[in-house]
Amino acid sequence: MAKYFDVHPENPQARSIAQIADAVRSGALIAYPTDSCYALGCRLGSRDGVDRIRAIRQLDDRHHFTLMCRDFAQLGQFVRVDNDVFRAVKASTPGSYTFILPATREVPRKLMHPKKKTVGVRIPDHVATQALLAELGEPLLSSTLLLPGEEEPLTQGWEIKDRLDHVVDVVVDSGDCGTEPTTVVDFSGGEAEIVRYGAGDASRFE
């Protein structure tokens, strides 16, 4: 059974955040809220976590995982960003955007797109998630909590606990976080290409 944490959306309880971070470090797969919708997350180097996310969402090896980063400095450790892209990404973070960029050697090969050697990165504008990332000290490997055959992600912590109780280890409930996934912008070719329209304002990249 998954552990359930009720975390305050504006003043996250330090003890709960520390317990969730410890669980992630120990290999736990968590369901947690972001500024666009819920996500599945695990430690960056967790092969088991990656395999479990793929199984829950029925993903193939072409799926772009996302590194949920605390800030721009952390993001810069895992992707290569030239000056023009730097300005565009910096102006849009934190926010409901995922950026696909060339991965650095810090990113495990299994997480990269097999041909492009790219990875998705983002900086969420969500108090509880930011608190968790600060406590963890490294990115969370993440994927939108969208189940196979369903059109919208799960958005309620109690429902996630009920439906995924035996396939995730931790459920973090921090209130409603919306149903719309991020806007995804691919910068791997140097120019902005909008891959998915979502919660973030896409007009600045068009």
Total residue length of the chain: 206
CA 76/CA 103 separation, integer angstroms: 10
pLDDT tens digits, one per residue of 120-144: 999 999 999 999 999 999 999 999 9
Among the residue ranges 5-14, 27-36, 110-119, the one predicted with the least confidence is 110-119
CA–CA distances in Å: residue 174 to residues 137, 156, 157, 194: 20, 9, 8, 29
DSSP state of 144: E
CATH number reported for the structural domain that contains residue 10 in this entry: 3.90.870.10
Look over the chain and give the mean of its residue pLDDT values, rounded to a whole number.
Answer: 93
CA 78/CA 105 separation, integer angstroms: 7
CA 150/CA 143 separation, integer angstroms: 15
Taking alpha carbons only, the member of 4, 187, 204, 39 closest to residue 100 is: 187
Total domain count for the chain?
1
Q: Is the distance from CB of 88 to CB of 205 less than 8 angstroms?
A: yes
> Can you give the pTM of this predicted structure?
0.94
Q: 173 pairs with which residues across the strands? A: 6
pLDDT tens digits, one per residue of 38-90: 999 999 989 999 999 999 999 987 787 899 999 999 999 999 998 889 899 99
- Residue numbers of the domain that contains 169: 3-205
The four Cα atoms 93, 97, 103, 108 give a dihedral, to 10 degrees, of: 110
Q: What percent of the chain has pLDDT over 70?
A: 100
Q: What are the tokens at 59?
A: 């993903």
